């Protein structure tokens, strides 16, 4: 079992993992439903199928990604051939959240294995059914000394973080991200932090309002709003507000029917702590739509809130639930005041037919990633890096970049011996002028 040096072995284990994920797809979908009634369609599209596709593309490309890359040499080293070697970090810890508990646990694990690391995965304790299925799949696919699942909550996480790792990949909240960063600092362990933030969704007067409403409703209420890159609040041009709200309501009913609680396509809140937090956000607000809730079923209906104050609970922190505040703006300065009231967003969305306005919005603000005229879509392209900036995280992954994330890039200059220019060696004497002239050229 030489996973560090034998890429064929790594590839075989990932093929085994692919087989076991495909074989267990029904079990995974059931576990996700048992954990928080994740609809089957969402479970397949955003979890099992996503992971299967990641596995297939990694298996297909990993040998190419692992090859030493020859780069153009510097003339200063003439004669040489220069390479970048991808070296596994060693022991990797992956800590996963509950909201996409299968995908966000498995995807980093797949790339860490492909890159030649040993992995310990801690899934979220808030989705115990999915965590148990993950543990079984991993047990069947890998030797325990290669990849291991450790189940448990905060104490388990703390225990794992107290150990020395060569890389830590964490997905979760900003507050726990800081705990992870502190623990990593102890050993100067490199980390990726995939965290959260307050994501604006700007709708201007030129936007195709009906289509914008459809795409926002989809991106917001999928997974009952418990998506790190879900639109957190809307900033709509003032004159468009009434029309836009009408479309939003139409689209919610079109997606989930009039009796949303009975819809098979609408998930539940993860636990009562979050249910209490979210219903507390609605309590003192002016509702435009929704606001229904049922503690016994951890249900909160898609809810639209009318122009809340920036100091109100719903605008204070990341919502991470099916509540969508609708704010208005008249000038670009109004947009600026709202967006700059918060840390950098993880995602930002602009709905507009005006290219220069869209471009201005996506370049004026610093944020992890986003879309023009859509929501969430940037997550799905393996060629786009996915990650945060500032308080919402550091580092990025997806596709080839995930392999690179879990590899140290080792630079090697292979010098030839047939020629040895003496200019760099002491005694330096009259060589300074000549070397300066040479350096100036590069």
Q: In the complex, which residues of this chain contact ligand NAD (CB under 6 A)?
A: 95-99, 104, 122, 124-125, 153-154, 157-158, 171-173, 176, 179, 194-196, 228, 318, 320, 346, 388, 393
Nearer CB in complex with ligand NAD: 116/399: 399
Residue of minimal Cβ distance to ligand NAD: 196
Shortest Å, Cβ 15 to ligand NAD: 27
Residues 12 and 59: their CA atoms lie apart, in Å, by 9
Nearer CB in complex with ligand NAD: 179/362: 179
- Contact between 15 and 59 under an 8 Å Cβ cutoff? The reply is yes
Nearer CB in complex with ligand NAD: 127/141: 127
Shortest Å, Cβ 189 to ligand NAD: 15
Alpha-carbon 378 to chain mean position: 10
Question: 């008249």: which residue's tokens?
Answer: 330
Residues 319 and 230: their CA atoms lie apart, in Å, by 9
Cβ burial of 147 (10 Å; 0-12, 13-18, 19+) is buried
- Contact between 78 and 63 under an 8 Å Cβ cutoff? The reply is no
Shortest Å, Cβ 416 to ligand NAD: 46
Nearest to 24 by CA among 139, 121, 128, 150: 139
Pull the structure tokens for residue 352. Answer: 């507009």
Nearest to 263 by CA among 228, 221, 291: 221
End-to-end CA distance of the chain: 46
Q: Does the active-site annotation cover 228?
A: yes
- Contact between 323 and 314 under an 8 Å Cβ cutoff? The reply is yes
Shortest Å, Cβ 385 to ligand NAD: 12
The answer to whether the bond into 79 is cis (omega within 30° of 0) is yes
Nearest to 316 by CA among 292, 348, 343: 343
Pull the structure tokens for residue 40. Answer: 């089957």
Question: 């507009």: which residue's tokens?
Answer: 352
Shortest Å, Cβ 156 to ligand NAD: 7
Nearer CB in complex with ligand NAD: 187/359: 187
- Contact between 221 and 255 under an 8 Å Cβ cutoff? The reply is yes
Shortest Å, Cβ 70 to ligand NAD: 34
Nearer CB in complex with ligand NAD: 227/293: 227
Q: What are phi and psi of 80, to 5 degrees?
A: -150, 160
Nearer CB in complex with ligand NAD: 58/99: 99
Nearer CB in complex with ligand NAD: 171/293: 171
Shortest Å, Cβ 285 to ligand NAD: 21
Q: Does the active-site annotation cover 107?
A: no
Nearer CB in complex with ligand NAD: 28/347: 347
Alpha-carbon 51 to chain mean position: 14
Nearer CB in complex with ligand NAD: 99/279: 99
DSSP label of 352: -
From the candidates 42, 107, 201, 228, which is the catalytic residue? 228
From the candidates 42, 47, 54, 194, which is the catalytic residue? 194
- CA 399, 400, 401: angle at the middle one, nearest 5? 90
Shortest Å, Cβ 371 to ligand NAD: 16
User: How many other CB atoms are found less than 10 A from the CB of residue 352?
Assistant: 22
Question: 């060569």: which residue's tokens?
Answer: 166
303's CB contacts (< 8 A; 6+ apart) are 282, 287, 289, 290, 291, 322, 323, 324
Shortest Å, Cβ 195 to ligand NAD: 5
- Contact between 88 and 9 under an 8 Å Cβ cutoff? The reply is no
- Tell me the catalytic residues: 194, 228
């Amino acid at each position: 079992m030489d996973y560090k040096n034998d890429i064929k072995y790594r590839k075989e284990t990932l093929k085994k993992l692919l087989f076991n994920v495909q074989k267990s797809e029904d079990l995974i979908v059931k576990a996700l439903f048992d954990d928080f009634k994740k609809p089957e369609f969402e479970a397949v599209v955003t979890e099992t199928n996503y992971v299967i596709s990641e596995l297939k593309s990694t298996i297909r490309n990993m040998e190419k990604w692992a090859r030493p890359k020859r780069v153009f040499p510097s003339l200063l080293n003439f004669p040489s051939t220069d390479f970048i070697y991808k070296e596994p970090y060693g022991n990797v810890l992956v800590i996963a959240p509950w909201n996409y508990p299968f995908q966000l646990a498995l995807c980093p694990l797949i790339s860490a294995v492909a890159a030649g690391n040993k992995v310990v995965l801690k899934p979220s304790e808030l989705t115990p059914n999915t965590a148990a299925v993950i543990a079984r799949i991993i047990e069947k696919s890998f030797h325990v000394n290669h990849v291991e699942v450790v189940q448990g909550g905060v104490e388990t996480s703390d225990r794992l973080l107290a150990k020395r790792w060569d890389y830590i990949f964490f997905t979760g909240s900003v507050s726990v991200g800081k705990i992870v960063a502190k623990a990593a600092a102890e050993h100067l362990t490199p980390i990726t932090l995939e965290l959260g933030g307050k994501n604006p969704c700007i709708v201007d007067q030129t936007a195709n309002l009906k289509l914008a409403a459809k795409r926002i409703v989809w991106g917001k209420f999928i997974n009952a709003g418990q998506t790190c890159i879900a639109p957190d609040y809307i900033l709509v041009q003032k004159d468009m507000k009434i029309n836009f709200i009408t479309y939003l309501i139409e689209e919610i009913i079109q997606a989930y029917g009039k009796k949303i609680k009975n819809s098979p396509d609408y998930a539940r809140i993860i636990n009562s702590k979050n249910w209490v937090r979210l219903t507390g956000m609605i309590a003192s607000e002016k509702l435009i739509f929704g606001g229904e809730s049922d503690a016994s079923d951890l249900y909160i209906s898609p809810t639209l809130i009318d122009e809340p104050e920036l100091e109100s609970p719903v605008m204070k922190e990341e919502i991470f639930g099916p509540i969508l505040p609708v704010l208005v703006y008249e000038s670009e300065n109004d947009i600026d005041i709202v967006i700059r009231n918060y840390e950098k967003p993880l995602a930002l969305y602009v709905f507009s037919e005006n290219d220069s306005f869209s471009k201005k919005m996506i370049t004026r603000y610093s944020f992890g990633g986003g879309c023009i005229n859509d929501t969430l879509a940037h997550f799905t392209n393996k060629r786009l890096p996915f990650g945060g900036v500032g308080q919402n995280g550091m580092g990025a992954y997806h596709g080839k970049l995930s392999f690179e994330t879990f590899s140290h890039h080792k630079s090697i200059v292979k010098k030839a011996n047939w020629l040895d220019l003496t200019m760099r060696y002491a005694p330096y004497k009259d060589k300074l002028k000549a070397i300066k002239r040479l350096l100036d050229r590069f």
